[in-house]
Structure 1
Amino acid sequence: MTDKQEANQTSGSASASSSTLERVDTIATRTSKDEEAAGSTSEAFSSKFTLSPDFLHKLVSSKDVSRLWHVGGPSGLEVALRTNFTHGLDNDEDVLQQLGNGRPEPVKRKQSIIPLHLEGEDSKGFSDRRHAYSDNRLPPRKSRSYLGLVWDAFNDKLMFLLTFSAVISLSLGIYQSVDPSEPGSNVEWVEGVTIVIAIIIILTATATNDWQKNRKFEKLNKRKAERYVKVVRLGKLVQISIDDILVGDLVKLETGDIIPADGILLDGFDVECDESSTTGESDLIEKTPFRERHGRDQHSEPTKASEKIDPFILSGSKVANGVGTFVVTAVGVNSSYGRILMSLRDVPQETPLQQKLGSLSKYILLFGSLFGVVFFFILLIRFLVRLPSIEGGPRAKGESFLELFMLSVTMVVIGVPEGLALAVTLALAFATTRMLKDNNLVRLLRSCEIMGNATTICSDKTGTLTQNKMTVVSCLMGLDDKYEDTQMLDGSDTTDNATREKRAQTMASVLNMSDQVRQLLRTSIVMNTTATERDDAGKCDLQGSSTEVALVQFAYDHLGLDQLTSARNSMRIIHMFPFQSASKAMAAVVALPHGTFRMFAKGAAESMIDRCTRVLDGDVRSLQEHDSTKLQSHIQNLAERSLRVLAIAYRDFPSWPPISTTFSSSDHLKLDDVLHDMTYVSIAGLRDPLRPDVIQSVQQCQSAGVQVRMVTGDNFNTAKAIARDCGIYASGGVAMDGPTFRKLTPSQLDSIVPRLQVLARSSPEDKRVLVNRLRAQREIVAVTGDGTNDALALKAADVGFAMGIAGTEVAKEASSIILMDDNFTSIVKAISWGRTVNDAVKKFLQFQLTINFSAGLLTAITALVGEVDEAVFTVVQLLWVNIIMDTFAALSLATDYPTRGVLQRKPEPRNQPIITVSMWKMIVVQTVYQMIVIFVIHYAGDKLWAANTEHQASQIQTTAFNTYIFMQLFNQTNCRTPDSRLNIFEGIMRNPFFFFVQAVTVTGQTLIVIFGGNAFQTARPTGSQWATSIVLGVLTLPLGVAVRCIPNKYFLKLTTPIRKLFHMRMRRKAAKERKKAARPPQPGLLSRAVSVIKRETKPPAGPIIPTNNDDIMPPPTAEELKLHRTASRTSLQRQQGEGEVSLSALIAFARDRNGQEQSKESEMAMGLRKYVFEVHPDTVVDDPIVLVDSKEEVEEGQYAPPPSQRADHLMYLGVGDGSGGAAEECRKVRRGSRAV
């Protein structure tokens, strides 16, 4: 092109852009007037931008293409937003304006991914843009102030009554002090002041704990909101936080992304979005790139066909398929999803533990309030009876009434479990903060405690059990040319850079292939990849999935690849098919120089070979049956070495899109439509070594009673080999592939799923079905996932773990916990923390109920037996006990770290009461002990210490109070283990809060006893009395050991009537909820009339047994049962046509195949040979494999344990059971019976 032609073209572009800009100004002016006429209240924005935020929001939300054409189409939008649809935003926005007005574009820069720190780079360049449109941050949620938290703690009826009583007491005390007619020291006001100070201390301590808890949750929420996207700026691909996205940015989209802002799709392939979260539309919406279809004639008027396209990208929607680029038009509160979030902030939901404690708190509150009311009326009746005989006049009578009233209110305060909620939230806040340091980002609080009771884990393989560091260790080109890295093929870890460089030099000559074949394989890898290259300080670093990076690195080392970006730019990509789990493949179509097109594809080796009809073996020839058999044998050999096996192939087309009638859609090609008649090129084996600590982590799970299952899309033999190395696949286990799994009916799945340890070549739908079948058997299921299609399984599971590194945004959004390091070991840590949270609440509950019962009964009995002022504890002393019981105990018992013991016991079932038998045993015995000790000191202390004076009598009452506090002090240590374990000091040195609380309690108690005087009504005890208090307190520790040694069965016999009475109402309520949820939706008038004639049968009593529906789950709650009814209707349709195989015959065939006893001529054997199903070779002969009816006795009203917790099931498995040896005893019995 000549200089004159370039000048003419430049001039023409400038004129066109100028006319476009004038058109934009006209439209913007008209739009602004329309908004003013409509009463728009949008604030003024920078005059450098012609389109207002409101107009841009309506541009996308209305999905009206005509609005795009009114602003001049793509070029008009480009000018109006002062961006560039090729190079993105620039710090110098004046340069971009000149580019948009037709100036020559700068030289194209090499695209690469670089780290971007916006703080120091765009403070000036984007100031006008930020002022006009803001950034993508939402205004932070207004946090509760400290004074607000104090008011929340004070906003309680009981606290109001106590404060009101304290104010009256203080007023009377001040009146007596200033009355000269009153004899004595006139210090009656001290008690009132002390009560007020005690109330202030309670409020301050509660508010401080809440404030610290909120601070931790705020930090956690900020971490949860952190997300990064790839945008084009300065012509380079950079990664920034979603908060820093600006209007005019060019954002890259990939399958699995959650769209961060509104915009217009400019380029893309097969982009489909799930907009159900924003528009409610359940179907996937196909997105058409606006610039691609209409950029050729940007100044032409829109046609009817162009009006029907949908290039509008809505924030908050999910990219279900495809890749593309869109320009941002609205961010933050101006975007669609931002406006929804601002109008509807998330309401925090209660966790299951909080729900259990809420119900328990209601009963304790009811009991405590009733006890306090009865206590008050008894004292009131006695007061009224003695009223005429009370000396001192009206003032003395008023003081007596006020004293009994304050004591009654304080009794209710002691009985109300105010610290329960504090203990739960404090334990959750502490655990989630520490879990973050253990690479567990908790998104849903409920998942933290649920994970502690998980019974099974369905884990991915790549990246979770393995290191996600793929390396090509074997490559077969054609049929004979083979490259093998013998060191890494054997599993040795020699991946350091020096060794790799040395091997790359020495192994390059091994590839005995022509330059043509080498170039074809290199081009196939380079063009059909999602890997990108980052140029950081002159060093090239590959970014992307481990498989993609391994293949590109192989091309660098052995195929002569020089630079990835330049190699990709050498050819034009016409179409891309992203990886699809259904086809287990991905492909890219490129334009060849002679006008033809070539599709490069790679995917699962065994399925890709089945799609090939030709082979590149020197020259292209037909793929014969013996060739296919040879390749399949090679694939199996690599898979048995724990390698991931991929096949690379291509296919040529004379035109694109191809002319054919077999396509599912003329406008939207599917990969399966063209993935056939391929030409085979190469088979690659990739090694991904196991994580160093994964074997130990799997063993820890098995010791904790948690079964681990591998669910992967990899080859069956590869999955088996890695599962065997991990310790997942062991004797008694079953392995199968996805197609075989899909052939089984729900009833067959229910029989075999408890033994399923490996599920290979599985689809995301298989994973979801497996999760639902396990939950139907009352398993508490945790599942890992990283892909977009894994979202359904993550949602279906009790706890969903998304991969923080390899996971898509959709998977993270559907998960409960994000594994920041993609490591299976982090899941084990999550189990430990979940059990620690449950234990923390039980510790606190055991400690608090002991005080509730003992302090309440002691005060009530002593006040009723004697006078009110003769109660063993005064109001102020009881408030001090309340501080210890609530705030201090929550801080010390809810902040323990996990110990080794938490992973050496079985998980708790869903419906287990929060107060266990061991806890009741300790609560009752400690309460009785404390009451006996205090009664002896209170009523017989004058004889024990020969008290003759009033001061000595006061010392005895102080000793009773002091002894009671020291018993609580040591009982707090005793409550560190809520079960029957004897080591109560395990992990105590790791909890500084415990020692801090103990020190504060001892210091406070010492000061109160020595210097309390009239305020606390104490007198300084003697040395012997101090020793007595401490010794009697210490005795709670050996008493706790003795109680733990008593078998629970003896305590159960003594307390059966009490336990039934306590749990009867809770069970009735749960039964009503289940019965209500099991009923079908309310019918119409005609249906109700019919039901009168034909009444439905009542549901059977007892536990609800799951039916053979695909999606049904166990019914612990009404909400879940409601979900199951809806899901079961669709799952019944899915069952039609399945059940082609006999499960018993399949198991028998697999066992015979292990023993090599099957008859090859058997017609049944030939029919079963197509199913990929294996029973572990070490499985004993008498193992039934399928699930049999449980013979374990189940308590009335309780569910039977899930299969993973049944000893008769675990006895056949060669894994740990975490059941305290129950399964091992069964194994010994089984071995003995076989020997006989």
Structure 2
Amino acid sequence: MTTTAFDIPDPTLRPADQVAQALGVDPEVGLTDATADERLADEGPNELRGRPPVPLWRKVLRQLQDPLVYLLLVAIVISLVAWAGEGGESWPVDAIVIALIVVANAVLGLVQEAKAASAVAALASMTAASSSVLRGGRLRTVRSTALVRGDVLNLSEGDSVGADARLLSATGLRLQEASLTGESGTTPKSADPLGGPTALGDRRNMVYRGTAVVQGVGRAVVTSTGMDTEMGRIAELLDRTDQEPSPLRREIGSVSKTLGLLVIGIAVVVMAAIALLNGVHDLTDAATILLMGVSLAVAAVPEGLPAILSLVLALGVRVMARRNAVMKDLHSVETLGSASVICSDKTGTLTRNEMTLSRIITPSGRVELSGTGYRPEGEARYRPTDGSEADLVREARNVVVAGALANNAQLLEEAGEWTIQGDPTEAAFLVALRKLEDAERVAACYERAAEVPFTSQRKMMSILGHHLDEDEHRLFVKGAPDVLLGHCDTVRCGDAVVSLDEAQRAGFLRAVDDLSVGAYRTLGVAYRDVDVAGIPTLAGTDRPLLDESAETGLVLLGVVGIIDPPRDEARQAVAEAHRAGIRTVMITGDHPGTAARIAADLGISQPGQRVLTGADLDALGDEDLRRAVLDTAVYARVAPEHKLRIIDGLQSHGLVVAMTGDGVNDAPALKSADIGIAMGITGTEVTKESSRMILGDDNYATIVDAVRQGRVIFDNIKKFLRYLLSSNLGEVATVFFGVVLAGLIGLSEADESGAIVLPLLATQILWINLVTDSGPALAMGVDPEVDDVMARPPRRQSDRILDGRMWRRIGFIGAVMAAVTLLTIDAVLPGGLLHGSGSLAAARTAGFTTLVLAQLFNALNSRSDESSAFRHLSNNRWLWGAIALAVALQGAVVSVPFLQAAFGTETLSWGQWALCLGLASVVLWLEELSKLVRRRRHSRARSEPRERP
């Protein structure tokens, strides 16, 4: 039977081993996969209960709860009244057709909503939190939703706790528990049992779901999951305020409201014009006028715009995710496309993250290690300078042994492939150890007794090792060389320990500078023997309790150079960003020389350009820093708090800043940046939760590619907006000017019965809206790149998506559509400017068809603001599919008898089809001419020399 939480009355009051025993787990091995799977099946996933799914009938009802649907329902009532007034002898065709259009619109809305929800769910799955657990004696990374009671969590700085758990061990462990307790400070943790029941904030031996590890390391056994956690118990009390709409959504909402008011006004004017010019003689005339007004209002407003926008964003973001850039928020895409500065870390982002320990500097000389990556293959070349080669060999081995012991990484081999768990820099010591020493023998000699964890403030970490054979304790320390030297009094030369004089200190610092200039990351390694008799122990154990005070009086062993070569694609990506008007800024904790060399190699800065360090930033006031950020491309030896100041300085100039980060202390900077980017491989869970985007491959080139995709998505949004609004305006203009100019184009004399004559029927307008809106608009939403989006500067966030220039183009295209439609009607009718011989039904059918075809030509126009429609004409198969479907449906409406009866059409001759196609294509040719003029104007503007001021 699965062990449950109530088998442990209060885990805080019992020793950790008893809690683990009650949960049926060995703390040194963890659960087996089979046991974990059984418990997961029995207990359910470790997740908070979400809002219940919306039933289908509610989704259908939501599609009908729209003002435009209400208008269509009014149109059905009007048509039924008119039908009844005429005697009701035949079928109420208009009412049936409008009802079918309502159903079709609802189905389309449901499909679009379902696709958007599916895309968003897939993205949420990609950004799901994970936890490090001990399963079957090996550390594994699993989805936090798969945690079960009895799982042994491995906690380290930057982890987000996935479930409530009782601590088994804790070393310097501090957690941020503000989400549960409301206290802004960090909480120290210990594995000791408590003396009695305590408040939540004082339970020092427990860690809770949703809290964050900000310092130290520890292990804990899961006691509660899902709704049984403390977070689950107060889930109903959590803040569930609706998210503020993005600028893009606000602008689209504003446009929709403006259009709605405008269309109502136009519909009223059109109805009034029809009534005044034609008169209202009976109920049929009144119904015709009302139906036309309602249909015009429905056709003019792109009611599917919000659904199309969400779906286009979701599909675009899924494309980005397949390219290793996972956006957590759909609407952050518009900000990403506006990025004007990318602040990037160096290691693993601009470089390969294949950390290889290649140089060892000791008092007796230097050692060069061959080989790259994590495969422990390579040779050592010893170059003694101040001692014998034998001394250099001993010193080099001491360095790598100490560095490998002061370590929390793991080097693993599986099927001949070598991989790492943990920090790549630490793993480089493990690889070097295998090249120089018997790693298994070293590991068997020492047992870890205590740890002083690394922090970004101290830039050091220490391990107290217990030598099992000699029963001695030794503290192994590694850290930034300039920091570590301040803690050293002596240095080991061969087998002797001598005083570390100023000349030797200066020599090591020169060696560090030389390595840094060569793009090596440097670390110092030291040790000291420790008498544990005078050190306090953890309560209830014999384990020594260490803190930072132990890191004094150290014996320096040497300095290592770890190379991480620049990524091959990074230089090209930096150049591409520069071409797009985007600055690249490197921010790293490495030595200034290393940072400057890598930055110069990648084209981020010029050789000799100044590098600001953390100390420099501390010395600068806010105004001085604000000026400095404009021409500084490289920052080195910076702490996470410096990133906030850099971001604030850049944003004060109106720049849109994207910032990368991986450590827990990067979280505030990622939140402050316009686009916070977390590392997917090396990033901590806290960092991922604080970011808007997660890099699946920790690669700078992926960021630049994501900016490109963000710009493409934004361009596509402009495309379908331009298409929808100009097409709908064409419909409104056709009816309005068809009524006003009825005498000129021969409509007035087309019906001798005296009934009101309109250029298009209400059902025809609704059909156009149904056939030409959704399909082509969605296809343009996933349009591949047509223009070179990286050849222009970033879009300013103050720029409107629908500016004056775009509105003028929308008006121009709408007017052309109306003109060619009315010319088609005139050409078929006997009277008017162009004398034809067709009936009123034939003229309406031809005009109806011309307007549909003109909108499809407009879809080709709308793919670019300047480029010809014939550029990359065949690279969007979805658009061609949507156009083909629309043409087929229009052919059916014109040719199939029962559809002819429903929509008032009749079969067109081949000559009439050719007339419709030819006049509809005028929309394409006029826009091509307009684009040609714009391209030549822009080309002249670029070629003309600028006058000097």
Query: Could you say whether these structures have the same fold, taking a TM-score greater than 0.5 normalized by the shorter chain as the test?
Result: yes
Q: CA deviation at 1:193?
A: 2.1
Give matches, 1:181-192, under 5 Å. 186=90, 189-192=92-95
Corresponding residue of 2:730: 854
Computed over aligned residues only, the root mean square deviation of the Cα atoms, in angstroms, reads 3.5
Deviations 1:1076-1112 (A, max 9, x none): xxxxxxxxxxxxxxxxxxxxxxxxxxxxxxxxxxxxx
- Which of 156, 162, 165 is 2:72 aligned to? 162
Q: Distance in 1 between matches of 2:190 and 2:149?
A: 21
> Which residue identity lines up with residue 72 of structure 2 in the other structure?
L
- Call closer, same or farther: CA 1:845–1:304 in 2, change over 3 Å: closer
Q: Distance in 2 between matches of 1:903 and 1:1023?
A: 46
Corresponding residue of 2:655: 779
- Which of 554, 559, 581 is 1:705 aligned to? 581
Deviations 1:183-233 (A, max 9, x none): xxx4x53333222222222222222122112111112212222x4323234
Q: CA deviation at 1:871?
A: 1.8
Corresponding residue of 2:779: 892
Structure 2 residue matching 1:122: 3-state secondary structure = helix
Q: Does the 8 Å contact 1:930/1:967 carry over to 2?
A: yes
Q: CA deviation at 1:603?
A: 1.5
Q: Does the 8 Å contact 1:414/1:852 carry over to 2?
A: yes
- Which of 509, 520, 539 is 1:643 aligned to? 520
> Which residue identity lines up with residue 765 of structure 2 in the other structure?
L
Structure 1 residue matching 2:109: 3-state secondary structure = helix
Corresponding residue of 1:1033: 920
Q: Does the 8 Å contact 2:86/2:284 carry over to 1?
A: no
Structure 2 residue matching 1:877: 3-state secondary structure = helix
Q: Distance in 1 between matches of 2:301 and 2:660?
A: 41
Q: Distance in 2 between matches of 1:874 and 1:676?
A: 90
> Which residue identity lines up with residue 282 of structure 1 in the other structure?
S
Q: Distance in 1 between matches of 2:518 and 2:787?
A: 35
- Which of 682, 685, 706 is 1:806 aligned to? 682
Corresponding residue of 1:664: none
Q: CA deviation at 1:757?
A: 0.4
1:230 paired to 2:132: yes
Q: Distance in 2 between matches of 1:200 and 1:371?
A: 26
Corresponding residue of 1:369: 264
> Which residue identity lines up with residue 790 of structure 1 in the other structure?
D
Corresponding residue of 2:407: 529
- Which of 847, 859, 871 is 2:758 aligned to? 871
Q: CA deviation at 1:440?
A: 1.0
1:150 paired to 2:34: no
Q: CA deviation at 1:683?
A: 1.1
> Which residue identity lines up with residue 59 of structure 2 in the other structure?
L
Structure 2 residue matching 1:756: 3-state secondary structure = coil
596-605 vs 252-261, greater mean Cα deviation: 596-605
> Which residue identity lines up with residue 799 of structure 2 in the other structure?
Q
Q: Distance in 1 between matches of 2:148 and 2:633?
A: 48
Q: CA deviation at 1:137?
A: 3.8
- Which of 151, 155, 162 is 1:260 aligned to? 162
Corresponding residue of 2:222: 328
Structure 1 residue matching 2:497: 3-state secondary structure = strand
417-426 vs 724-733, greater mean Cα deviation: 724-733
Give matches, 1:94-133, under 5 Å. 118=33, 121-122=34-35, 126-127=38-39, 131=42, 133=43
Structure 2 residue matching 1:232: 3-state secondary structure = strand
Structure 1 unaligned runs (5+)? 1-45, 60-66, 91-117, 180-185, 295-300, 391-396, 489-493, 660-666, 1051-1218
Give matches, 1:525-564, under 5 Å. 525-534=403-412, 536=414, 541-558=419-436, 560-563=437-440
- Call closer, same or farther: CA 1:827–1:905 in 2, change over 3 Å: same
Corresponding residue of 2:146: 244
Q: Does the 8 Å contact 1:450/1:799 carry over to 2?
A: yes
- Which of 177, 190, 195 is 1:275 aligned to? 177
Structure 1 residue matching 2:773: 3-state secondary structure = helix
- Call closer, same or farther: CA 1:172–1:1002 in 2, change over 3 Å: same
Q: Does the 8 Å contact 1:415/1:852 carry over to 2?
A: yes
- Which of 182, 204, 208 is 1:310 aligned to? 204
Structure 1 residue matching 2:439: 3-state secondary structure = coil
- Call closer, same or farther: CA 1:540–1:570 in 2, change over 3 Å: farther
Q: Distance in 2 between matches of 1:511 and 1:404?
A: 103
Deviations 1:698-721 (A, max 9, x none): 111111111101001111010000
Deviations 1:1107-1143 (A, max 9, x none): xxxxxxxxxxxxxxxxxxxxxxxxxxxxxxxxxxxxx
Q: CA deviation at 1:921?
A: 3.5
- Call closer, same or farther: CA 1:839–1:340 in 2, change over 3 Å: farther
Corresponding residue of 1:16: none
Corresponding residue of 1:793: 669
Q: Distance in 2 between matches of 1:541 and 1:250?
A: 22
1:77 paired to 2:42: no
Q: Distance in 2 between matches of 1:689 and 1:476?
A: 20
1:480 paired to 2:375: no
- Call closer, same or farther: CA 1:538–1:892 in 2, change over 3 Å: closer
Q: CA deviation at 1:884?
A: 3.9
Corresponding residue of 1:584: 459
- Which of 189, 193, 209 is 2:112 aligned to? 209
Q: Does the 8 Å contact 1:526/1:567 carry over to 2?
A: no
> Which residue identity lines up with residue 506 of structure 2 in the other structure?
T
Give matches, 1:723-762, under 5 Å. 723-730=599-606, 734-762=610-638
Aligned residues: percent identity? 27
Q: Distance in 1 between matches of 2:668 and 2:567?
A: 27
Structure 2 unaligned runs (5+)? 537-543, 743-747, 749-754
Q: CA deviation at 1:410?
A: 1.2
Q: Does the 8 Å contact 1:956/1:1021 carry over to 2?
A: no
Structure 2 residue matching 1:52: 3-state secondary structure = helix
Q: Does the 8 Å contact 1:921/1:1043 carry over to 2?
A: no
- Which of 892, 897, 918 is 1:1007 aligned to? 892
Corresponding residue of 2:745: none
Q: CA deviation at 1:253?
A: 0.4
Q: Does the 8 Å contact 1:648/1:683 carry over to 2?
A: yes
Q: Distance in 2 between matches of 1:263 and 1:657?
A: 33
TM-score normalised to structure 2 length: 0.90
> Which residue identity lines up with residue 371 of structure 1 in the other structure?
I
Q: CA deviation at 1:932?
A: 2.6
Q: Does the 8 Å contact 2:485/2:556 carry over to 1?
A: yes
Q: CA deviation at 1:869?
A: 3.9
Deviations 1:1045-1085 (A, max 9, x none): 455999xxxxxxxxxxxxxxxxxxxxxxxxxxxxxxxxxxx
Structure 1 residue matching 2:560: 3-state secondary structure = strand
Q: Distance in 1 between matches of 2:403 and 2:671?
A: 35
- Call closer, same or farther: CA 1:818–1:986 in 2, change over 3 Å: farther
Structure 1 residue matching 2:95: 3-state secondary structure = helix
Q: Does the 8 Å contact 2:191/2:205 carry over to 1?
A: yes
Q: Distance in 2 between matches of 1:956 and 1:352?
A: 45
Corresponding residue of 1:720: 596
Q: Distance in 1 between matches of 2:85 and 2:267?
A: 29
Q: Distance in 1 between matches of 2:929 and 2:702?
A: 37
828-837 vs 520-529, greater mean Cα deviation: 520-529
Q: Distance in 2 between matches of 1:511 and 1:720?
A: 34
Q: Does the 8 Å contact 1:918/1:1048 carry over to 2?
A: no
Q: Does the 8 Å contact 1:615/1:680 carry over to 2?
A: yes
Q: CA deviation at 1:992?
A: 2.0
- Call closer, same or farther: CA 1:897–1:471 in 2, change over 3 Å: same
Q: Distance in 2 between matches of 1:1042 and 1:732?
A: 51
Deviations 1:561-587 (A, max 9, x none): 332xx7445333333122221222222
777-786 vs 353-362, greater mean Cα deviation: 353-362
Q: CA deviation at 1:668?
A: 9.0
Q: CA deviation at 1:738?
A: 1.5
- Call closer, same or farther: CA 1:581–1:157 in 2, change over 3 Å: same
- Call closer, same or farther: CA 1:308–1:794 in 2, change over 3 Å: closer
- Call closer, same or farther: CA 1:1002–1:310 in 2, change over 3 Å: same
